[in-house]
A and B are shown apart, each in its own frame.
Chain A
């Protein structure tokens, strides 16, 4: 038996070495290195374009940062739809107090899937979509520093999603032997260690894989921004979006490996009877420390880049430079550092030492200061500005007002006495959704519309974009304001049913607020359907952009590197196309002005 095992191990080892040897011979890997063409700034991307194979093969083999950006974008959108459908089902269940639409285990599975999907499969990748596409353009690099690692990092994600979602598909196939994980996104032990369901293991492995992907991506961005900048781009004039991605990548580098290690320990506890997080011998609180030491930086990993996007886009439509650019950069770095010092504000109610609680409260309040500095600078930029209310600008403004509400509610939570009352109620859910939906997603939408002419070569439908904004804005505020009030009234989070003593809590009010939240969620869904429709249709048949400056940024001297690149490309294609005359004459006309 033992010798059999040994032989098998040796055989696998030999096999792997053989595969590695073969791979190193099939082609000269170096020939793909981005700089081997010796091409200068921008020229190379043009050449690469012509070498790309057609069709599916191109998308499966691409190492071009722009293609990989688009892949990330597609991936994030699919994940957003999955997570959105999950939450709509949950909201339907919650529209009435009793359990009447889905099984309770199904509710818990959807809850877990929604949280994990939105944070790790939507938010992180959708940010990577923009950073992959635009960072090299913004800093004047030919591509990412490691184009192949870039591709590998992306291709780890589809299997990650399949593993994370696997329980849902395997449940009917295995007659319920394997179910969707029901641990909630925080995977608190002992619950997550003791659930026998193998679906949990699959999810943990998938999550681990997504963390490996994010870490590889982060290393790539750090190296790219440090080493691949064009001569004209230095630290002083590096754009704000690149600054936030650099900081975010640093946070990922320190936070995600920790999550990975904690996940491995949890897997060991589940499968090999180690006792890291058990009640006897280990400590469930240890899980919470490790998880939140990752988890709090994670929320800033997600929010810093959208803050960068807004800091970058808002001035373009306010007609003036970002006020206090330097301080916005400093506040980004300050948030990056401080975010590692506040994790225990998620643990105020676990009975940790009161002195610890007080110090974590102090740091949590301190982190509000750099956030306030940013808000201050955005508003100052707006104050004397002449604003153009385009779709990206509307989303920037929605971002700011939602951020004020999300931030103020967060400051309340950071105060220990308030938190002890509101912890694990819908108030917390309302708070962080003002941030994740009202802020992070809004920043992403602003970026989708702002850069649309670059990555599609076309313009979106402006009226639909405005419908999208207003529906999502109204829906977000209905849903999550309702949740804040629900939390005040004592509605605990993570339950599929509710029942209160009417003498203490007005049941009618609770039900009505849940229904309000459900209506709000559907309004968001309608807005999102319009969004997806607009993006797909406009990508295929929107008016072609012939203008190197569709947003008239030259008027205010804000034509950035990426638009410069776009302009060169437009000019090239007009020269290249015989009868380019005709194309120029079509004059996108009203296309771009909003």
Chain B
């Protein structure tokens, strides 16, 4: 067989997924902010930092929240991968 194989780095793929999913959260915030402007309460990032209920505010809030939650998981992935080689 002509086994000319091309490989892609796993890290690149994982980071791409991460960025894409966070971008989806930002997009959701942006769209919602546009459509329901003025009718939303200002969201609080981690219940602490308030973001304005504008398109950009909601986009930033959504992106940051998901980036944090998935980021913790990603950090765990990296930590575990470095430590436990199977």
CB within 8 Å of B: which residues of A? 318-321, 323-324, 372, 375-376, 379-389, 397, 400-401, 404-405, 408, 481, 484-485, 488-489, 506, 509, 547, 550, 552, 587-594
Contacts and interface: CB of A to CB of B under 8 A. Distances in A.
7 contacts: A382-B14, A386-B7, A386-B8, A386-B10, A397-B17, A401-B21, A489-B36
Contacts of A481: 24, 27-28
A383 B11 contact: yes
B48 interface: no
Nearest to A324: B86
Nearest to A488: B32
Interface in B27-47: 27-28, 31-32, 35-36
A376 B73 contact: yes
A550 B3 CA distance: 9
A382 to B, nearest CB: 4
Contacts of B74: 379
A379 B17 CA distance: 10
A386 B77 CA distance: 16
Contact of A404 (B1, B2, B21, B35): B21
Interface of B: 1-11, 13-14, 17, 20-21, 24, 27-28, 31-32, 35-36, 66, 70, 73-74, 76-78, 80-81, 86
Contacts of A375: 73
Given A387-B9, A592-B1, 6 more contacts: A379-B74, A380-B77, A383-B11, A384-B10, A385-B10, A404-B21
Given A387-B10, A401-B20, A593 B78 contact: no
A592 B20 CA distance: 30
B1 A485 contact: no
B14 A593 contact: no
Contact of A379 (B5, B14, B31, B66): B14
Q: Which 5 A-B pairs have the closest CB atoms?
A: A385-B10, A386-B7, A382-B10, A387-B8, A590-B2
Contact of A380 (B3, B5, B31, B80): B80
Contacts of A506: 35
A387 B13 contact: yes
A71 B40 CA distance: 53
A585 to B, nearest CB: 13
A312 B4 CA distance: 23
B86 A593 contact: no
Contacts of B28: 481, 484-485
A389 B76 contact: no
Contacts of A404: 17, 21, 70
Given A376-B73, A400-B17, A401-B21, A384 B81 contact: yes
Given A320-B86, A485-B32, A509-B35, A383 B2 contact: no
Contacts of A397: 13, 17
B14 A383 contact: yes
A321 B86 CA distance: 8
Contacts of B6: 388-389
Contacts of A387: 7-10, 13
Q: Which of A387, A397, A592 has the most B CB atoms < 10 Å from its CB?
A: A387
B3 to A, nearest CB: 5
A408 B66 contact: yes
